[in-house]
């Protein structure tokens, strides 16, 4: 075909109007120049369908209108939902999302954040995998960062949305304890990559306090990751009477495994999830889980970033309290 129809530039508007690029640049942002000029420039800009080139702006050092979202693993259904909530929230502020998925690898996490920063995102939203990562200080010094449900070593933050994991773990463990469970398997996607997460620590401490026999088992995310593992754990001689999954996605896989083994839930084994995905009330049986309001989480995280970008507010912080939703999948310990 013909030559590529390039997007209109400020220079074209300058030629059309007989002004200089400088004048146009100012006019487009409604600065300095006369009202008449502004109107004229706007008219031409609209006619040409002009919009500022975000890349040129970025190179010059301005805002890009894009926020980086870095999640631990998109294989996790809850994090998919988080991505949606965040993207929806950002849109209300006219911002866009550059999405990156660390795919469960803490080492990858920092590298990806660097990529995002190199793309000149105006800010970074990070749902960290665990405290393993390297040196976040340099990166967060230049790019405003808000963490969601996790810590970044040495990072300078614009804000953080903290999940009270200790409370959440406590709710679940006490719930299971009250139902008579004593031997519990805890399935964690993070334990292999990042053994010392607060969540796993909380499990150990509180299990000890309640005199529970808790074994923490490393586990891949996702249905297909946890199902075979569940089959193995459940086939054991001294099978646990309850399985506490540190993510609903994992719990779904376990549910699947139970079905294959012909085990009744909660008759033979109780199952509890940990993030209350919207579908958890619809699965069979409805899954007992811990809810951390995803809307509040997304709104707070984005709000912190936007505040920081607007004026300069200091580091903001909110703690999201867990709510245990007791449904059908957890019941009295068998035998």
Partner DNA sequence: ATGAAAGCGCTAACAG
Partner DNA sequence: CTGTTAGCGCTTTCAT
19 binds, among DNA, its own copies, none (CB under 5 to 8 A by kind): DNA
- 123 in Cβ contact with 305 (< 8 Å): yes
Segment 56 to 85, residues that bind DNA, using CB under 7 A? 56-57, 59-62
Find the shortest distance in angstroms from Cβ 267 to its own copies.
16
Helix (H, G, I), strand (E, B) or coil at 171: helix
User: Is the CB of 138 or the CB of 256 nearer to DNA?
Assistant: 138
Instruction: Convert residues 28-57 into a mask of x (bound to DNA by CB under 7 A) and - (unbound).
Output: xx--xxxx-x------------x-xx--xx
Taking CB under 8 A as the rule, does residue 262 contact its own copies? Answer: no
- 102 in Cβ contact with 73 (< 8 Å): yes
285 binds, among DNA, its own copies, none (CB under 5 to 8 A by kind): its own copies
Residue 187 phi/psi, 5-degree rounding, is -95, 120
Contact with its own copies (CB under 8 A): which of 11, 91, 204, 313? 91
Query: Cβ neighbours of residue 36 under 8 Å, at least 6 residues apart?
Result: none
Contact with DNA (CB under 7 A): which of 18, 49, 94, 314? 18
* Exposure string for 242-251, b = 16+ CB within 10 A, e = fewer: bbbbbbbbbb
- What is the enclosing helix (H) or strand (E) of 97? strand 96-101
- DSSP one-letter string for 197-248: -HHHHHHHHHHHHTT-EEEEEE--SHHHHHHHHHHHHHHSTT--SEEEESSH
| Span interacting with its own copies, options 89-97, 211-219, 262-270, 314-322, rule CB under 8 A | 89-97
Q: Would strands 123-126 and 270-272 be described as parallel, antiparallel, or unpaired?
A: unpaired
Taking CB under 8 A as the rule, does residue 296 contact its own copies? Answer: no
Query: Cβ neighbours of residue 130 under 8 Å, at least 6 residues apart?
Result: 106, 150, 190, 193, 194, 196, 197
Taking CB under 8 A as the rule, does residue 8 contact its own copies? Answer: no
Residues within the interface to DNA (CB under 7 A): 6-7, 9-11, 18-23, 25-29, 32-35, 37, 50, 52-53, 56-57, 59-62
Site for its own copies, rule CB under 8 A: 1, 4-7, 51, 53-56, 58-59, 66, 74-75, 77, 80-81, 83-84, 87-88, 91, 96-101, 103, 114-115, 118-120, 138, 141-142, 223, 252, 255-256, 278-279, 281-286
């Amino acid at each position: 075909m013909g030559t590529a129809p390039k997007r209109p530039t400020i220079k074209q508007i300058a030629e059309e109007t007989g002004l200089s690029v400088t004048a146009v640049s100012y006019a487009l942002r409604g600065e300095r120049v006369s009202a008449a000029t502004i109107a004229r420039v706007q008219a031409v800009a609209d006619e040409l369908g002009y919009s500022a080139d975000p890349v040129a702006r970025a190179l010059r050092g301005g805002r890009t209108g894009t926020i980086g979202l870095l999640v631990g693993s998109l294989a996790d259904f809850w994090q998919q939902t988080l991505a949606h909530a965040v993207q929806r929230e950002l849109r209300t502020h006219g911002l866009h999302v550059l999405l990156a998925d660390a795919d469960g690898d803490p080492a990858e996490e920092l590298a990806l954040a660097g990529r995002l920063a190199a793309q000149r995102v105006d800010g970074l939203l990070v749902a960290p995998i665990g405290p393993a990562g390297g040196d976040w200080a340099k990166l967060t010094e230049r790019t405003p960062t808000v963490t969601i449900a996790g810590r970044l070593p040495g990072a300078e933050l614009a804000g953080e949305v903290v999940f009270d994991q200790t409370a959440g773990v406590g709710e679940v463990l006490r719930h299971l304890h009250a139902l008579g469970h004593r031997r519990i398997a805890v399935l964690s996607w993070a334990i292999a990559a990042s053994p010392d997460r607060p969540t796993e620590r909380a499990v150990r401490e509180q299990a000890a306090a309640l005199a529970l026999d808790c074994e923490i088992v490393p586990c891949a995310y996702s249905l297909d990751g946890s199902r075979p593992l569940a089959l193995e754990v459940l086939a054991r001689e001294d099978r646990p009477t309850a399985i506490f999954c540190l993510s609903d996605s994992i719990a779904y896989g376990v549910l699947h495994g139970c079905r294959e083994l012909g085990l009744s839930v909660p008759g033979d084994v109780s199952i509890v999830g940990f993030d209350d995905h919207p579908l958890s009330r619809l699965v069979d049986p409805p899954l007992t889980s811990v809810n951390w309001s995803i809307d509040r989480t997304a709104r707070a995280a984005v709000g912190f970033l936007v505040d920081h970008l607007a004026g300069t507010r200091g580091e903001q912080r909110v703690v999201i309290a867990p709510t245990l939703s007791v449904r059908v999948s957890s019941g009295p310990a068998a035998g």
